[in-house]
Amino acid sequence: MTLRKNNGPETAPTPIRFSKKALDFLVKAGKQNKDDWLEKYQAEYEEVLKKPFIALAIKLKVRLRPLAPKYHFPTKGLGRIKRPAFKVARGQPLYKDWLSMIATRPAASRFESNPHLFFGLFPNEDRKIIIACGLWQPTSRQTRLIREAIRTNPQPFHALFKDKAFKARFPSGFCLDNMATRVPRGFLDSDKNLNWIKLRNFVVMKEISLKAFSSPKFSDELVNDFTQGLRLNRLLDRAIQERE
């Protein structure tokens, strides 16, 4: 698999195959405090974590960029688990016990982000392997615009969440984990889709089993997940842009 760039080809460095060893390595890394620890385990790090992670990122870029030409799909700098010295000096651990990648459109403002595609490994959390799409931590302006779109024209969201292809990937629709405790200002208890209106994050999310993560088909499944997730991202973009 090759991705052409202006300065030459970008090629996936290894077959994309993860295993439980990737999660175990992150758990082990998070417990280390010696600066040279990673050097001693460089071969294992490259084999079980960094190489397949970068290969996955390149595949996502190749397969999804035609569907999302304005998205930035990072392929460099991924897989790093050793924190820079200035972060360690601020009290953060020397090594991360998690790893993630985010693809999104570059933001026009440093205060606002855009809907994104997210994949993360968090072996020390309840949800260990996570896929998410949508808008996480929107600004108050973005939140207001999306809530207003849900109130005035919810049909596109209902249609998407009922769509067979989308539902096969994200059967629960919006994640309801983070909601306002009160009805937001400007809305009513009687408004339809109040649970959606009260959301603080507008994302769909699912946890991936270790079996699925370890499958040779995982990268293709992730491409399919993100292909559907882009449909939600477009709805959110439209809700924000049409009401600005």
Domain spans of the chain, in order of start: 2-242
- Residue 10, pLDDT above cutoff 80: no
- Residue 151 has what pLDDT? 95
- Residue 44 has what pLDDT? 97
Please state, in angstroms and rounded to a whole number, the distance separating the CA atoms of residues 53 and 206: 19
70-88 pLDDT, tens digit per residue, is 999 999 889 999 999 999 9
77-116 pLDDT, tens digit per residue, is 899 999 999 999 899 999 999 999 999 999 888 889 999 9
Q: What is the mean pLDDT of residues 186-192?
A: 93
Region for residue 77 given its phi and psi (left: phi exceeds 0; alpha: psi -120 to 50; beta: otherwise):
left
Indicate the pLDDT class of residue 48, thresholds 50, 70 and 90: very high
Does this model's pTM top 0.85? yes
* Cα separations in angstroms, 166 against 12, 170, 177: 28, 6, 20
- Residue 108 has what pLDDT? 83
Please state, in angstroms and rounded to a whole number, the distance separating the CA atoms of residues 113 and 242: 17
Half-sphere exposure of 218 (CA within 13 A, CB side): 24
Please state, in angstroms and rounded to a whole number, the distance separating the CA atoms of residues 63 and 82: 29
- Residue 1 has what pLDDT? 43
